[in-house]
Amino acid sequence: VEAAARILEEEGHSHFSTNAVADRAGVSIGSLYQYFPGKDAIMGALLRRETGLLIAEAEAALRANTGREAIRILISASIAHQFRRPRLARLLDFEEAHLPPSPDTQGVMLLMIDLARQALMRPDAPRQTDVSVAARDMIAIMKGMIDTEGSGDTPDPKALQARVQRAVLGYLGRPA
C-alpha cells in the first residue's frame, strides 16, 4: 500500500500499475496478488488507509464542546490530512470521486458533510435556513481552499486554517 502511495505521489496516476507497485514494494507481482485481488483493491486499501486518520480526527469534532470548536476541528483535520501528503491527498480525492461507489471508499466526503451538519446543529452555531445545504457548502469551501493551497509551493497550515475559518464563518454568518 505504501508503494502504491509513493508511486502516485511521485510519478502520478499514469504510472500506477500493478507491476510498478510490486517493483516499488520489492516483491514479485505474484506476491502482490496474494494480498490484493486486483488493482482496484490496492487503490481501495490505500484510500482507506489514507482517509482513516482524516476520519478519526474529524470525528473528534463530535466531542467538541461547541459548534464553533467542532468546525475548527473539521477544518484542522482536513488541513492536516492535506498537508501530510499533499499530492497524494489530491490524487486520492479524484479517485474517490471516480471509483465505482462503495460505502467503504465513497463515503469520506459524505461523512465530512454529516459531521459538518451535526456541528451546525449545535446551539452556538450560526443558525442556517437549510442545514444540509450549508453543511455541503461548508465542506465544499474547505475542500476548494485546501486543495488549491495544497498545490501551491509555499504551504502554511497555520495561515490556511485562519483563512478557511474566515471563509466558512463568513459564509455561515451571512444571511442566505
Under the rule (CB under 7 A), what is the footprint of DNA?
14-20, 27-31, 33-35, 37-40
Q: Which is nearer to a copy of itself, 15 or 56 (CB)?
A: 15
Pick one of DNA, a copy of itself, none as the site partner of residue 84 (Cβ within 5 to 8 A by kind): none
C-alpha cell at 73: 476541528
Q: Which is nearer to a copy of itself, 15 or 84 (CB)?
A: 15
Rounded Cα distance, 112 and 124, in Å: 20
| 65 scored as a contact of a copy of itself (CB under 8 A) | no
DSSP state of 153: S
Q: Which helix (H) or strand (E) holds 85?
A: none
Rounded Cα distance, 148 and 167, in Å: 14
Sort residue 35 into left (φ over 0), alpha (ψ -120 to 50) or beta. Answer: alpha
C-alpha cell at 108: 469520506
Q: Are 130 and 171 in contact (CB under 8 A)?
A: no
Q: Which is nearer to DNA, 4 or 58 (CB)?
A: 4
Pick one of DNA, a copy of itself, none as the site partner of residue 85 (Cβ within 5 to 8 A by kind): none
x-or-dash pattern for a copy of itself, window 128-167, by CB under 8 A?
A: -----x--xx-xxxxxxx-xxx-x----------xx--xx
Pick one of DNA, a copy of itself, none as the site partner of residue 34 (Cβ within 5 to 8 A by kind): DNA
CB of residue 13 vs a copy of itself: minimum separation in angstroms?
6
Cα–Cα–Cα angle for 81, 144, 164, rounded to 5 degrees: 75
CB of residue 19 vs DNA: minimum separation in angstroms?
5
